[in-house]
Structure 1
């Protein structure tokens, strides 16, 4: 496997800070806006965004939750073995709110579609926006586009983007994994 680092350490932190300033431009003090991290990996990103927004705005009243989409996915019955769901931690109603869905990587769009379906259990939002750290923009199966993007990556289906978070993986890093090209023998 060939690895190429896309973001790490300070560059990742600067990217998160930039995204937070974009959110502030559109949502001001977050009095009618909420952050929802998509479980499992988007929750780490949502936590970072929440921490940064709270520090910038000096506001600890921003509402943030985590959403599990396991049973809303269109492929969950196709998986072998038991399916394990994460927990939802949304202790507020999203009725009439502006919701910012947050995930680490946008690839086919299926995760986001499932998240929008799951979100309706908590009310009907006024508006839903999407923030992703990485947008793999040429691999979409559904017509879903993010409102806020950390980094756009042009990749093929055989490549994989892996996001590591300090809290879970011991380091902050985004890498692109590729199979090595087969060497030509003549």
Structure 2
């Protein structure tokens, strides 16, 4: 399987432009989830009709696996403007189980009540554990159980398919 990062990013950009026009969304807040989602959000920000700088979200303390034995998270920073009644475009690199997105939405609602949240994902994979679905998808992939997507960046942004044991 060959991953075409440029094609997936261009697909996201096109879909985001159309989505904002069709939904009449102007000046949304684009929020990237650390760290891959921030890298992807930086790539697609120019296709969104907004004057807002990129916002970032670190969901470390919102994860449902935070208390599992042996977890030593790297805590980053959350930078969000006022969200009340604003449209939010939440961006991440991979959607698989849905747990990262659930954690991100929990944190967003701790900062305020947005008018809407649009989910934009670079790669959507099988394996959903929660009823969370993306509005914008760069590419939908079906991987074997021992395969994972690995995004590296931010400059240059690259993607590879990894085999797990």
TM-score range, shorter chain: 0.7 to 0.9
5+ long unaligned stretches in structure 2: none
Q: Distance in 1 between matches of 2:98 and 2:113?
A: 21
Q: 2:58 aligns with which of 38, 59, 68?
A: 68
CA contact (8 A) 1:37 1:43 kept: yes
**1:184: which partner in 2?**
none
Q: Distance in 2 between matches of 1:148 and 1:105?
A: 12
5+ long unaligned stretches in structure 1: 181-186
Q: Distance in 1 between matches of 2:74 and 2:157?
A: 26
**2:78: which partner in 1?**
88
Q: 1:77 aligns to what SS in structure 2?
A: coil
**2:140: which partner in 1?**
152
Q: Could you tell me how far 1:6 is from its partner in structure 2?
A: 0.8
1:123-162 aligned at under 5 Å gives the runs 123-136=112-125, 138-162=126-150
Counting matched residue pairs gives: 163
**1:31: which partner in 2?**
26
Q: Which stretches of structure 1, 4 residues or longer, exceed 6 Å deviation after superposition?
A: none
Q: Could you tell me how far 1:37 is from its partner in structure 2?
A: 0.2
**1:176: which partner in 2?**
161
Q: 1:40 aligns with which of 32, 35, 41?
A: 35
Give yes or no for the alignment of 1:5 onto 2:5. no
TM-score (norm 1): 0.78
**2:97: which partner in 1?**
108
**1:183: which partner in 2?**
none
| 1:166–1:88 distance in 2 versus 1, CA, 3 Å | closer
Give yes or no for the alignment of 1:120 onto 2:109. yes
Which has more radius of gyration? 1
**1:19: which partner in 2?**
12
Q: Could you tell me how far 1:174 is from its partner in structure 2?
A: 2.1
Q: 1:113 aligns to what SS in structure 2?
A: helix
Q: Could you tell me how far 1:117 is from its partner in structure 2?
A: 0.3
